Amino acid sequence: MTRNIALGGTVLLGLVAATSAAAAPDSQHPSAATKYTLRYVFRPGETLRWNVLHRSSVRTTMSDTTQVAETLSTSVKVWRVQKVAPDGTVTFEHRVEDVDMQQDLTGRQRVRYNSRSDKTPPAGFENLSEAVGVTLAVVSMDNKGKILERRRSPVKAGSKSEAEMTIPLPETPVAIGDTWSYPYDQGVTSEKAYKKIKILQKFTLDDVQNGVAKIHVENEVLSPVQDPAVEAQLIECGASGTVRLDIDAGRILERQMDLDKRVIGFRGEASSIHYLTRFTEKFVSAAVEVAQHPGREEKK
């Protein structure tokens, strides 16, 4: 389940956190502190951008043969807000504005594609080229990050990150040290049969300094997994990292997710696969821009 590029990822736009005073600490609760109510807030017509950097190295060994695939990509993720309901529910377009990607594979010449300068993509990058500068999905979500509807474009973006568009937010105010979680199912194939594995995504408010909240993110596989072939399919679910949220501005400033995991025996005793990846997003800007003509798609 190797992927070439994370086109967007995840998550992170327009998050606003309002604070509410907690009860005064007492002798039984010496660590009682201010609690923070985290909610997504958008403005109609707003366009938000993030710079995305994705590095990955996948080393696969089969018997005595080892192949290494290394990928480096930078891109700009864009959310264009179409409408905002009184209850905070937002509808937005998800796009990738541009991408610069290079890929190195053992025994082959480096392949590179830059959507700004290359008119024709190299072989194998056609789907990536088609996904730049067009609407990949129209998404409706509530102010706690729950996806209510997602209308995908027929364009094949080659990325699973669209399924991780948001950080699910806690239902109630949280203080430093509090946690919340989001369970989901990940499909795998085992002995030619399809089944779902239960995954738990966990969030912890680690700290708040100078108005910036630090949130730790990790994933835990809940279903018992004994088959290395299934474990290899779940390898990308093991990433962990940190989100930095500017509470006063109401926006996530940065997200970094790292993965370093090896699975042995996924295709026989002499096989192994090692994933080493880092994914970062950094907020760039938010502005209310003139709406595009409803029947027009711009294309780089």
196-210: pLDDT as tens digits:
999 999 999 998 888
pLDDT band at 139, cuts 50/70/90? very high
Asked whether residue 2 is domain-assigned, the answer is no
Asked whether residue 259 is domain-assigned, the answer is yes
Asked whether residue 200 is domain-assigned, the answer is yes
pLDDT band at 4, cuts 50/70/90? very low
Q: Where are the alpha helices (DSSP H) in the chain?
A: 126-130, 228-233
pLDDT tens profile 119-131: 889 988 888 889 9
Which of 198, 203, 217, 226 is closest to 280 using CA atoms? 217
Task: Give the separation between CA 173 and CA 17, rounded to whole angstroms.
Answer: 10
Task: Give the separation between CA 283 and CA 281, rounded to whole angstroms.
Answer: 7
Total domains, the chain: 1
Average of per-residue pLDDT across 94-111: 94
Asked whether residue 248 is domain-assigned, the answer is yes
Average of per-residue pLDDT across 58-71: 94
Asked whether residue 1 is domain-assigned, the answer is no
Whether the predicted pLDDT of 257 surpasses 80 = yes
Whether the predicted pLDDT of 149 surpasses 70 = yes
Would you state the pLDDT for residue 156?
A: 57
Give the CATH number for residue 126: 2.30.230
Whether the predicted pLDDT of 15 surpasses 60 = no
Domain that holds residue 280: 15-22+34-288
Contact (CB, 8 A) for 46 and 286: yes
Phi, psi dihedrals of residue 158, rounded to the nearest 5°: 70, 35
β-sheet bridge partners, residue 203: 180, 217
At 282, the amino acid letter reads K
Average of per-residue pLDDT across 5-28: 39
Asked whether residue 213 is domain-assigned, the answer is yes
Phi, psi dihedrals of residue 281, rounded to the nearest 5°: -130, 135
Q: What does each C-alpha distance from 137 to 51, 207, 231 come to in angstroms?
A: 19, 34, 30
Average of per-residue pLDDT across 211-240: 91
Average of per-residue pLDDT across 182-189: 91
- Token pair for 110: 């480096």
Task: Give the separation between CA 258 and CA 237, rounded to whole angstroms.
Answer: 11
Asked whether residue 29 is domain-assigned, the answer is no
Asked whether residue 215 is domain-assigned, the answer is yes
